[in-house]
Chain A
């Protein structure tokens, strides 16, 4: 059944944030009129309008809803103004948008093909290689049927080539991909050392994950006491003020090619950016915890819930259960509380929590049960989350039978680890090793030198190198920016000294 929208998904009040809601916009979703505000993304606007099921999974037609809010997962793909597979969660709203779901018959909410979820045994793994191969005429018909049922959208009526697109060539000394804290620090340091910098970021505004971060930071000293988004504003301002930095917003660096060519797509412009040095500061992907039926609408990644809350001022739901393996998830749980979402419980896989953390104090004050040594084993609900099933973990980290706890809720927030988003590095080199983090997440970390270089002309900084804190990201960014400039014979002794100071500070953090 449909989920009625939580009364007023849009927050009107928040302890520290104000939300820009000046210009009203109307768009159509499957023919239905939806109101939004300029600056919101399509996904957020639809969420506020009560939409929870955005698509269906390819094979089993399981209902899928907003999850990552970062353009990384396949759940929110919609047909917008005739263009298929648009990631609603990062697409800005425009007046008069015509939005349609791509999959499900007769509708995405009541999909006949959801029967396939019970008929999985008829389509075992590898079935595309075995079914209907002969006779050949049947195979082509079968393929067309599969394509249609899987819901990847219809081709636009107007071919892309006729819709206008431009190819351009640009040059720079140092290209920095990612305008989060590490990228901003790198761009600033390189520009100050005297080289031309191109800062490329997928977002509309620089700042990366800091933009949605309301936590107060104690380190580094330069930003002590500031909230994440305030630090992002400061860093962005200092970079914008530098004439040597060209910022490419809404731009995706999609590939790094031989000869130092970075392929960048900025909406309908394809830019071949010729660069002498590349700094990859692309941050991290948040990883979900896998449990039975963890893909139900209403399950969010912690960074996704945080973005909904802080970038667009919307509650993910009314009652949430937070699954945690790190302090970050606890901070998000406290932020949910601040925004008026009831937190039913926090299940943390760890044995001990740091009681001195501000987030833990807030949660305890509000009487939120903090269940250590607990994790999520299953999600109840079909079209949406109805409850979370938690279980206690034994010393080996395995769920103990008979300890299942049923927690009714409409939202589950997974704060269960990050892995570096460093694919761009591996277009040019393969020098990486896998590590199993303490939180149990697996991460691929590139091996890099103390000057943050991975290979000739290729450097890395921040979470893209290894998951860590803000001060690590800022220092690594600074070191990478200075190293890039120094390797181009810019910056001189001042830059060398600055780099040494940053490296010493970084070493001090590592030892702490």
Chain B
């Protein structure tokens, strides 16, 4: 977050010219939006800085969860579901 184009340029110049290492060094794409809003802009800038073509681009590995989840929910007790319950009720 709060990563500027100067930050990206400096990081690439320091040797972080692979998207995975650039992401970990600058923390770009790691904020609350997880790249939803910014990924394409970041990739385009990254391509410009490293001279990669569009075909050579890839987004860092995407992992679940797509949106933040409370750990407490993952740890919740499982209930046996009655299949006839209406799932739309919420």
Binding site for B on A (CB under 8 A): 57-60, 62, 67-68, 71-74, 77, 85, 120, 124-126, 128-129, 159-163, 165-171, 198, 246-257, 263, 265-271, 285-288, 290, 417, 419, 421, 423-424, 426-427, 433-436, 441-444
Q: Which residue, of B38, B40, B81, B88, has the highest number of chain A Cβ atoms within 10 A?
A: B40
Return the contact of A419 from the options B4, B40, B63 (Cβ within 8 A).
Answer: B40
What is the CB-to-nearest-CB distance from B4 to chain A, in angstroms, rounded to a whole number? 8
Return the contact of A58 from the options B5, B31, B71, B90 (Cβ within 8 A).
Answer: B31
A269 / chain B contacts, CB cutoff of 8 Å: 90
Given A57-B2, A62-B2, A419-B40, A424:B87 Cβ within 8 A: no
13 cross-chain CB contacts under 8 A? A74-B31, A161-B72, A166-B77, A169-B78, A254-B65, A256-B64, A265-B73, A270-B69, A285-B37, A419-B40, A424-B66, A426-B59, A442-B43
How does the 8 Å CB contact mask read for B55-71 relative to A, with 1 for contact and 0 for none? 10111001111111111
Instruction: Please state if A252 and B67 are interface contacts (CB–CB under 8 Å).
Output: yes
What is the CB-to-nearest-CB distance from A221 to chain B, in angstroms, rounded to a whole number? 31
A67 / chain B contacts, CB cutoff of 8 Å: 37
Instruction: Please state if B36 and A167 are interface contacts (CB–CB under 8 Å).
Output: no
Return the contact of A249 from the options B27, B33, B65, B88 (Cβ within 8 A).
Answer: B88
How many interface residues does chain B have, given as a range?
Answer: 35 or more
Instruction: Please state if B74 and A248 are interface contacts (CB–CB under 8 Å).
Output: no
Instruction: Please state if B64 and A161 are interface contacts (CB–CB under 8 Å).
Output: no
Given A163-B72, A165-B73, A167-B76, A252:B32 Cβ within 8 A: no
Q: Which residue of chain B is the closest to A169 with respect to CB atoms?
A: B81
Instruction: Please state if B36 and A421 are interface contacts (CB–CB under 8 Å).
Output: yes
What is the CB-to-nearest-CB distance from B5 to chain A, in angstroms, rounded to a whole number? 8
Instruction: Please state if B77 and A167 are interface contacts (CB–CB under 8 Å).
Output: yes
B4 / chain A contacts, CB cutoff of 8 Å: 120
What is the CB-to-nearest-CB distance from B77 to chain A, in angstroms, rounded to a whole number? 7
Q: Which residue of chain A is the closest to B28 with respect to CB atoms?
A: A125
Q: Which residue of chain B is the closest to A129 with respect to CB atoms?
A: B25
7 smallest A-B Cβ distances: which pairs? A255-B64, A160-B72, A74-B32, A254-B65, A59-B2, A165-B76, A125-B7
Return the contact of B66 from the options A198, A254, A271 (Cβ within 8 A).
Answer: A254
B81 / chain A contacts, CB cutoff of 8 Å: 168-170
Given A170-B81, A423-B66, A434:B54 Cβ within 8 A: yes
Q: Which residue of chain B is the closest to A125 with respect to CB atoms?
A: B7
Instruction: Please state if A250 and B73 are interface contacts (CB–CB under 8 Å).
Output: no
Q: How far is the CA of A124 from the CA of B83 in the complex (A)?
A: 55
Q: How far is the CA of A442 from the CA of B2 in the complex (A)?
A: 21
B80 / chain A contacts, CB cutoff of 8 Å: 169
Q: How far is the CA of A160 from the CA of B62 in the complex (A)?
A: 26
What is the CB-to-nearest-CB distance from B71 to chain A, in angstroms, rounded to a whole number? 7
What is the CB-to-nearest-CB distance from B60 to chain A, in angstroms, rounded to a whole number? 10
Q: How far is the CA of A140 from the CA of B75 in the complex (A)?
A: 29
Instruction: Please state if B25 and A246 are interface contacts (CB–CB under 8 Å).
Output: no
A167 / chain B contacts, CB cutoff of 8 Å: 73, 76-79
Instruction: Please state if B77 and A124 are interface contacts (CB–CB under 8 Å).
Output: no
Q: How far is the CA of A216 from the CA of B13 in the complex (A)?
A: 50
Instruction: Please state if A426 and B69 are interface contacts (CB–CB under 8 Å).
Output: no
What is the CB-to-nearest-CB distance from A339 to chain B, in angstroms, rounded to a whole number? 24
**Is B10 in contact with chain A by the CB < 8 A criterion?**
yes
Return the contact of B62 from the options A126, A165, A427, A441 (Cβ within 8 A).
Answer: A427
Return the contact of B10 from the options A125, A254, A270, A290 (Cβ within 8 A).
Answer: A125
Q: How far is the CA of A92 from the CA of B79 in the complex (A)?
A: 27
A72 / chain B contacts, CB cutoff of 8 Å: 33, 36-37
Instruction: Please state if A263 and B64 are interface contacts (CB–CB under 8 Å).
Output: yes
Instruction: Please state if A161 and B26 are interface contacts (CB–CB under 8 Å).
Output: no
